[in-house]
Amino acid sequence: MSTVTTTKPADTATAAPAAAPHAAGEGRIGLRANLRHIGALARRNVLQIKQDPESMFDVLLMPIIFTLLFVFVFGGAISGKGNQAEYVNYVVPGLMAMMGMNIAMGVGSGVNDDFKKGVMDRFRSMPIARSSVLIAKIVVELGRMMVAIAILLAVGFALGLSIKTSVLDLFLSIGLAAVFGASLMWIFILLGLTMKTAQAVQGMAMLVLMPLQFGSSIFAPPSTMPGWLQSFTDYNPLSNLADAARALINGTPIGHSVWITLAWSFAITAVTMPLAVRKFRQKT
C-alpha cells in the first residue's frame, strides 16, 4: 500500500510539468487549429448576442438616428433648403466611416468587462492561441458593423441616396470601411486591456472620437472650416475614408484617399495588434 501511495504523487508531479508547456505552447498551434478556435469563439460571441438581443440596439438604431438627424438638421444648411437629397449622397458615405468607429468603441468596453467577469482568465488557461480570442471578437463586431451599414444604406436609399457608379464600387467602399474599422478595434481592445474600468474606456474613447469625427469631412466639406482645422482634416484618417467611400459611390475622382486609408489601416493594425495580444497575455 505504501508503495502505491508514494508512486502516485511522483507520477502526478512529473505529469503536471509535462502538461504545462502544451497549455502554454500556443506557438505550436497550426493555422487550421487556430482558425477552428477562432470559429468556436466567434460562435460563442454570437450566442451571447442571441441571449442578449438588447446588445444589438445600438447597431439597429444608431444608423437610423444619425442619418435622419444629420440629413434634416444639417442638410438644408449645407446644401440649401429642399436639397437634402444632395446632402444624403454626401453624408451617408461619411457615416459609413463613423459606424466603424462607434462600434469599435464598444469592443474595448466589452473586453474590459469580460476580464472583470473572469471569462478571459478561463480562455487564457486553454491551449489556444491568445490572439484567437481577440480576433474572434473582432470577427463578430465586423458582422455587427455590416448590419449597421446595411441599415444605414437602406435609410439612405429611402431618403434619396443614389449609386452613381456600380454595385461593385459600393461593395468596395463597404470593404474599405470594414478594413479601417477592424484596425480601430485593435486600438480600443488595447484600451480595454489597459484601463481599469469600462467607464474609463468609454470616457477615453469619447475624447478620441469627438475631435476625429467632427474634425473631418464626414458631415461638412473642409472648405467651410478655418485654415488650422482644414490642416487637421487633411491628416485625419476618417476624412480619407469618408472621401474614398464618397468617391466610390458618387463617381468623383478618388485621388490617393483609398491608398491613404489602407496605409492607415495596416499601420494601426501592425502597431496595436501585437501590443494588444501581449497585454492580453500579461494582464492580471
User: 63: exposed, middle or buried (C-beta count within 10 Å: 0-12, 13-18, 19+)?
Assistant: buried
Q: Which amino acid is at 111?
A: V
- Dihedral sign (CA 117, 118, 120, 123): negative
Mean per-residue pLDDT of the chain: 83
Residue 7 lies in a domain: no
pLDDT tens, position by position, 16-50: 333 333 444 445 677 777 788 888 888 888 888 88
**The pLDDT value given to residue 203:** 86
The whole domain housing 62 covers: 30-282
Q: Which residues contact 186 (CB under 8 A, 6 or more apart)?
A: 134, 138, 268, 269, 272, 273, 276
Dist CA 225 CA 78 (whole Å) = 12
Q: What single string gives the DSSP state of each residue in 18-40?
A: HHHHHHH-GGG--HHHHHHHHHH
Dist CA 181 CA 183 (whole Å) = 5
Which residue, chain included where needed, has cell 506557438? 27
Residues, the chain: 284
Residue 261 lies in a domain: yes
Listed residue (264, 40, 237) closest to 135, CA to CA: 40
**The pLDDT value given to residue 103:** 87
Residue 20 lies in a domain: no
Dist CA 65 CA 165 (whole Å) = 27
Residue 72 lies in a domain: yes
Dist CA 174 CA 167 (whole Å) = 11
**Mean pLDDT, the chain cut into blocks of 10 residues (284 residues total):** 43 38 50 82 86 84 91 76 79 89 84 79 76 89 93 93 92 94 93 87 85 88 86 90 93 89 95 91 76
- Contact 257/240 with Cβ under 8 angstroms? yes
Dist CA 189 CA 201 (whole Å) = 9
Domains contained in the chain, number? 1
Residue 2 lies in a domain: no
Please report, to the nearest 10 degrees, the dihedral formed by the alpha carbons of residues 158, 160, 162, 167 taken in order: -10
Dist CA 69 CA 59 (whole Å) = 16
Residue 130 lies in a domain: yes
- Contact 86/180 with Cβ under 8 angstroms? no
Listed residue (58, 148, 111) closest to 272, CA to CA: 111
Listed residue (260, 107, 262, 255) closest to 180, CA to CA: 262
Please report, to the nearest 10 degrees, the dihedral formed by the alpha carbons of residues 206, 209, 211, 214 taken in order: -120
**The pLDDT value given to residue 17:** 38
pLDDT tens, position by position, 43-93: 888 888 888 888 788 889 999 999 998 888 877 777 666 667 788 999 999
Residue 155 lies in a domain: yes
Residue 270 lies in a domain: yes
